[in-house]
Structures are given as structure tokens and as C-alpha cells.
Amino acid sequence: MTAIEDLVPRVATKARATSETLPPTASAEEVASAEAALGFALPPLLARLYREVANGGFGPEYQLLPLVGAGRTVLSEYRSERSASAEGETPYWPAGVLPILDWGCGMYAAVDCRSETAAVLLFEPNIMADDGAAAWFVDAESLAGWLETWLAGTGWYREDADEADDVATPVPWKRATARIAE
């Protein structure tokens, strides 16, 4: 069993244990339709989570957004952020970076769908001034690692994180400037 094959069932188990009701999973057709609308493929692990665990409603703190459906979705948030970034004075949202979780206060956890490991980025617009790249941080080098952090309860977002030695702090995303400029 590969690491991803082991990870998806563990995520599903925690999702069921920590969410009162999970939405149904997204179908393969819904995932394919979302990918067609986005113009790029989801990382395999992210697609499996939506197809095999649930269409959002699980994960760290505020939980993953649904991929598809009514209301706020990954697809609608990506389109909204890309549009606002293109129309504003300070471009800030790179292509291929998919918001998957809304932390509140404008912050997102986002997956870099162009990254081989599906790096998870933190978007923190509250510190952005003239440079949209200043709002981007690497939360985890991979989606798998980000999920492992959630499973272990060692994320920076946990209530007592500032008192713990085992919490990795997000670091600036060095590729942000180049990716935003594309």
C-alpha cells in the first residue's frame, strides 16, 4: 500500500469522527467537470479526497470547501480570487493555486496544483501592501504532509500552537512573485 493509499482511509476516519455530517462525495464526473472548468487537473490526492472522503466539510479547523455544488466552492472561490487579482492594482492570486479552505479574515489554505507534491500555501492578505507576493507562505511542502499534520494535531492553527515545540511555522513562498507575474 502506498502512502496515499494509506492516507486517504485515515483522513476518512478522522473526517467521520470530527464532522457531525459529511456531504456526499463528488462523483468522478463532477471532478472531471471541475477540472475542465479550471483548465487544469487537481492533484491526485486532492481529487481522491473529494471522490472518496466527502465533497468538503472535513479537515483542519474551518474544513475544506466543497469542490462543486451550490454556494461557495473551490471552483467559485478560485474564479473570484483570480478575477479580483486581475482587476485590482496589486495582482496577488497566481494561476493554478486552488483555495481549498477559508481560514476567515480573507485567509485561505490553497493547493499549488502545478507543484509535483501539491504544496499547501497560506494566503494572508491582511499583511499585503504593494506586493501581492508578500501575502503568500508555504504551509506544507505537500498536501499529504499537510494532512498528516492535521491527523497528528500539530498544525500552527491549533489553539496552543504558540506554546508547542513541534509546530512548523509557515515560511514565505519564494516562488510567489514569479507565479503571480505569469
Over the stretch 93-138, which tens digit does the pLDDT of each residue have?
999 999 999 999 999 999 999 999 999 999 999 988 788 999 999 9
Q: Report the alpha-carbon distance of residue 19 to residue 103 in Å, rounded.
A: 17
Say if CB 123 and CB 99 are below 8 A apart: yes
Domain count, the chain: 1
Flag the least confident range among 37-41, 85-89, 148-152, 166-170: 166-170
Report yes or no on 96 lying in a domain: yes
Residue 168: per-residue pLDDT? 72
- Domain assignment present for residue 160? The answer is no
159 domain-assigned? no
Return the pLDDT at 130: 80
Sequence-distant (≥ 6) Cβ neighbours of residue 25 within 8 angstroms: 50, 51, 52, 53, 54, 55
Which domain, by its residues, includes 93? 3-154+165-181
* pLDDT value for 4: 79
Q: What is the pTM of this model?
A: 0.93
Backbone angles phi and psi of 157, in degrees to 5: -85, -10
Judge whether 146 lies within some domain. Answer: yes
- Asked whether residue 31 is domain-assigned, the answer is yes
Angle at 69 between CA 39 and CA 141, to 5 degrees: 55
pLDDT in the model for residue 103: 94
Cell of 144: 499529504
Neighbours of 21 (CB within 10 A): 7
Residue carrying C-alpha cell 512573485: 177
CA pseudo-torsion sign 122, 123, 126, 132: positive
The CA angle 11-112-4, to the nearest 5 degrees, is 30
pLDDT the model gives residue 160: 62
Cα four-point dihedral sign 134, 139, 141, 144: negative
Q: Give the mean model confidence (pLDDT) for residues 155-160.
A: 75
Does 129 fall in a domain? yes
CATH number (domain holding residue 41): 3.40.1580.10
| pLDDT per position as a tens digit, 31-90 | 999 999 999 999 999 999 999 999 999 999 889 999 999 999 999 999 999 999 999 889
Question: Is 93 within the bounds of a domain?
Answer: yes
27, pLDDT greater than 80: yes
pLDDT value of position 156: 82
- The answer to the question of residue 25 being in a domain is yes
Is residue 70 packed enough to be buried (19+ CB in 10 Å), middle (13-18) or exposed (0-12)?
exposed
